[in-house]
Amino acid sequence: MLIYYENISYNKGFSLIELMITIAIAAIVMGIGIPGFVQVIKNNRLATNANELISSINLSRSEAIKRNVRVFVERKGGTSSNWDNGWNVFIDLNSDNTYNSGTDTLLKTYPALSNSYTLRTGANYANWISFLPSGLINSSSGTNNDSFRLCATAGDTVNSRKITINTVGRARISTGDVASCP
């Protein structure tokens, strides 16, 4: 019994035309997908920064109630109403309304925001906010109504976040509710 084998040759690669078509399709898909992905990343960073501020407010309020002391959230940096450089949550043991590393108890510190993100507030929360042992809010101006404005880029009010704290100390986030971004 004789078996004949045909000489079959296989191509082991792509032709130039196949490669160019693949690159063209990949470029079209990336051109459509990447701008949308950048917006998703920006929105996620805004949500993360807003949630960190809410977390620090909730932490200070709960610690004030739990420990039966006044707990502060104070901005870092020298510019009033500018919270871009981060903030500290602490117990003010020497009652001077500022954090002193030798005498006060630091509960948590938050780092500065990314380069293009801004966190600003009005005159009422210009330097600090605090929570009394009852859980009620107190501010650096004595007035308790104000809000924080979190923006990704200057002038982008549509994708901004507004963090409002009511008089009993509960914080909430709203999207695109900011009048102006620096």
- Supply φ then ψ for residue 74, to 5 degrees: -120, 135
**pLDDT tops 80 at residue 179:** no
- The predicted structure's pLDDT at residue 77: 86
pLDDT in tens, 59-95: 999 999 999 999 999 999 878 889 999 999 999 998 8
Output the pTM of the full model: 0.78
Comparing 3-7, 85-89, 133-137, which segment has the lowest mean pLDDT? 3-7
Number of Cα atoms under 13 Å in the Cβ half of residue 47: 6
pLDDT in tens, 23-69: 999 999 888 888 778 888 888 889 999 999 999 999 999 999 999 99
Comparing 59-63, 99-103, 136-140, which segment has the lowest mean pLDDT? 136-140
**pLDDT tops 90 at residue 7:** no
Mean pLDDT of 127-146: 84
The count of residues in the chain is 182
Q: Which long-range contacts (CB under 8 A, 24 or more apart) does 36-44 make?
A: 42/152, 42/159, 43/159
Compute the chain's Rg from CA coordinates: 27
Q: What are the chain's domains?
A: 17-175 (3.55.40.10)
